[in-house]
Structure 1
Amino acid sequence: MSASVLASCLWVLAATATAMLPMRHQMVPGLALLVSAPVLMVWLALSVGWWMGVLGLLAFLSMFRRPLGALVGWLLRRGGWA
C-alpha cells in the first residue's frame, strides 16, 4: 500500500472521529481536515492515478457538503466571488 493511500485512510478515520465530537469541538479539527484534503487528493492522484483522485474528491465533497455549502453561501452573500 502506498503512503498516499495510507494517509488517505488515516484522513477518513480522522474525519469520522471528528464527526463524532460535539459541534463546538469540531471546528479546529474540521478546519485542519478541510485544508489538508486538497493536498492529499493531489498526492493521491499523482501516486495512484487520476481516477483515485476523483474518487477522493467525491468522498471529500460527500463528507463536507454542509460546511462547503455554508462557505459558498457566506462568500456569495459577501460578494467574495467578484
Structure 2
Amino acid sequence: MYQIKENFDETEILKSQCDDNLQITTTQGLAAGFDQKAKSLSRSIKYWVVGLIKLYVQVVISGGNKFKNYLQSLILIKALGRA
C-alpha cells in the first residue's frame, strides 16, 4: 500500500512538471512564431514604403506639370481678353 502512495505522489509530481514544461514550450513557440512574422513583415514593409514614396513623387511631378499648364492657360486667356 505504501508503494502505491509513493507511485501516486511521484506521478503527480511528474504530471505537474509536464504541465509546467508544456506551458514553457508553448510560450516559447508562440514567441518564436511572432518574432518570425515580425521579421517577415519588416522586410516586406520596406518594399511598400519605397513603392509609396515613388508613387507620391510621380503624383507630385504629374500634378505640378498639370498645374503649370493650367496657369499658362489662365495667362493666355487673360492675355487674349485684353487684346
Does TM, normalized by the shorter one, top 0.5? no
Question: Structure 2-normalised TM-score?
Answer: 0.28
Higher helix proportion: 2
Determine which structure has more spread, i.e. the larger CA radius of gyration.
2
